Amino acid sequence: MTSQSQTRPALFLDRDGVLNEDRGYVSRWEDFRWIPGARETVAAFNRAGWLVFVVTNQSGVGRGYYTEDDMHALHRRMAQDLASVGAHIDAFYFAPHHPEAASETYRHPDPPDRKPNPGMILRALAEWPVDRDRSVMIGDKPSDLEAATRAGIRGALFPGGDLSRFVADQRLPT
Ligand SMILES: [Mg+2]
């Protein structure tokens, strides 16, 4: 049971194109480049008492380009690097399934977690004490915003550039 007073707003972040440059199926730290202002944005929302989640489609796993272990290793490196600036992600949610996945394990005609489906966000809402009305999803694709809308979360479309400036321009409350 969670009372309203215990809930916190959540910032849902797409990964590729919002936190890091989307170079297509990024799976190695050597290829990972933070978006300007991304780490500072996470830190600012942490300080403001928000929950911060990554919700990322990772069909590269389903397609066999890299493994879940590779992806977890990359997320650990991201977390270490964020910690060095006093920032943290509360949970990483990922969607490895794809309709044309090479492996049957990851093949699904319409994966419920894969954006634009809202599965990852709904899972976070079920697992954490989130104040849905004050929460925001930042994505760089319409499918990110559709997932947010279908989960009852406000969406903001990031056009690129500096993420902390975008957050300020959107008047997101940190
Ligand atoms: Mg993206």
C-alpha pair distances (Å), 130 with each of 7, 8, 11, 58, 65: 5, 5, 10, 24, 34
What are the mean pLDDT values of the chain's consecutive 10-residue runs (174 residues total)?
A: 75 98 96 98 97 98 96 98 97 96 94 98 98 97 98 97 95 72
Q: How many Cβ atoms from other residues are within 10 Å of residue 83's Cβ? A: 11
pLDDT on residue 3: 53
Active site residue 31: no
pLDDT on residue 137: 98
**CA triplet 99, 105, 111: central angle to 5 degrees?**
40
Q: How far is the CA of 155 from the centre of ligand 1 (A)?
A: 13
Domains parsed from the chain with CATH numbers: 19-138+146-159 (3.40.50.1000)
Question: Looking up tokens 């760089």, which residue turns up?
Answer: 140
The closest alpha carbon to 15, from 36, 41, 38, belongs to: 38
pLDDT on residue 4: 55
pLDDT on residue 11: 98
Q: How far is the CA of 1 from the centre of ligand 1 (A)?
A: 34
pLDDT on residue 174: 61
Active site residue 110: no
Q: How far is the CA of 173 from the centre of ligand 1 (A)?
A: 22
Residues within 5 Å of ion ligand 1, judged at the Cβ atom: 14, 16-17, 140
Q: How far is the CA of 166 from the centre of ligand 1 (A)?
A: 15
pLDDT on residue 172: 78
- Catalytic hit among 16, 113, 140, 144: 16
pLDDT on residue 5: 65
The closest alpha carbon to 37, from 87, 72, 73, belongs to: 87
Q: How far is the CA of 158 from the centre of ligand 1 (A)?
A: 9
Q: Is 63 helix (H, G, I), strand (E, B) or coil?
A: coil
Q: How far is the CA of 99 from the centre of ligand 1 (A)?
A: 19
